[in-house]
Amino acid sequence: MACCYQWMKSPVGKLLLAADESGLRALQFAEGRTPPRVEAEWKHDGKLLQEPMRQLRAFFAGELQRFDLPLAPQGTEFQRRVWDALLEIPFGETMSYGELARRLGNPTASRAVGLANGSNPIAIIIPCHRVIGSNGKLTGYGGGLHNKRWLLDFEHSQLRLAFGTR
């Protein structure tokens, strides 16, 4: 089966989702740093995307903190290691590029980690928005820093609601 795609409206703008039989291959912001490109061979068909879209709607409604989907991001072995490590950053928490590099066993690779993070083809679900600069400041985000800030603020507010703190 060929790759299929679907557009979805969300609180962070229009999103492009793409999947094939192996899983979700892309989730990209329509208004991001690099506008998504629908490949000529992709079919406009949402059948494979029903569950990812359901889970995204649940996430944005505050009903889901961890996605459970087959993911099929295309990248180098190093990129896939970084993306796997991103999946381990808990909802509502952040981590610096340097800390992520240390967790991967290569403390001097923070720039390479940053490049891999920036190449993440499945935004939000592989939570690259949870990675920040070592000084605690927000750094580049393919969906725009305003969306990174929104996602982090949203996650923090969900945790405050869940635990009754301010």
Domain count, the chain: 2
**Structure confidence at residue 166 (pLDDT):** 52
Catalytic residue, chosen from 12, 124, 128, 132, is 128
Residue 69, in any domain of the structure: no
In terms of domains, do 98 and 40 share one? no
Residue 68, in any domain of the structure: no
pLDDT tens-digit map of 85-136: 999 999 999 999 999 999 999 999 999 999 999 999 999 999 999 999 888 8
In terms of domains, do 55 and 110 share one? no
pLDDT tens-digit map of 60-98: 999 999 999 999 999 999 999 999 999 999 999 999 999
What is the residue-wise DSSP string for the chain? ---EEEEE--TT--EEEEEETTEEEEEEETTSSS-----TT-EE--GGGHHHHHHHHHHHTTS-SS----B-----HHHHHHHHHHTTSPTT--EEHHHHHHHTT-TT-HHHHHHHHHT-SBTTTS-GGGEE-TTS-----TT-HHHHHHHHHHHHHHHHHHHT--
Write down the pTM of the prediction.
Answer: 0.92
In terms of domains, do 29 and 91 share one? no
Residue 128 is among the residues annotated as catalytic for this protein: yes
